[in-house]
Structure 1
């Protein structure tokens, strides 16, 4: 097992930090005081009005459901399915009403 010198250790920490920050930059953060991002609001609006949803819209919906506490484990492995999904959906609907629709009317 090789021992990493101080210079190598600093390089490793810098690389790990840059990797973490790069991951955060890719994922959109919601505005302060909100749960849903602008992209999620856009995609949830499209899902509610569009007859043929896209995969990206479904991914946004799943991300919002996960924020609301839903874990999409296999339904045969979840003793609380579908109640936990329905509870998360109600919370996402509430967020949509208070955050997305309210932002569009301002």
Structure 2
């Protein structure tokens, strides 16, 4: 018989997966063959330029980190923190470098 904790964990994984597949993390899906949406690229660029960040930009960054496998919810009981966050940040940085077209200023 499954415990309540195991059932809750399973349901939260199913819900999170459904949200990512449905694109509800940031409201849109990335183009085919890409991990980051155009909005995530814009928001990550804004965050990297040290502009005054908005809550939406931070949420977009968190959505990208979640796509890279980071789950911020169990931070108090995560034996792999901060390594799992750092791995996700490196993966998002890689995606950003390869998928996001740099903005040209004139």
TM superposition score normalised by structure 1: 0.70
Q: Report what 1:33 is aligned to.
A: 33
Q: Which has the higher helix share?
A: 1
State how far apart, in whole Å, the 1-side matches of 2:92 and 2:75 are.
Answer: 20
Superposition RMSD in Å: 2.1
How many residue pairs were aligned?
A: 82
Matched, 1:60 2:47: no
With 71-80 and 27-36 compared, the bigger mean Cα shift is at 71-80
CA distance in 2, matches of 1:25, 1:48: 24
- 1:50 positional shift: 2.9
Q: TM-score, normalised by structure 2?
A: 0.70
Write out the 4+ residue segments of structure 1 that deviate beyond 2 Å after TM superposition.
24-27
Larger Rg: 1
**Structure 1, unaligned runs of 5 or more:** 1-23
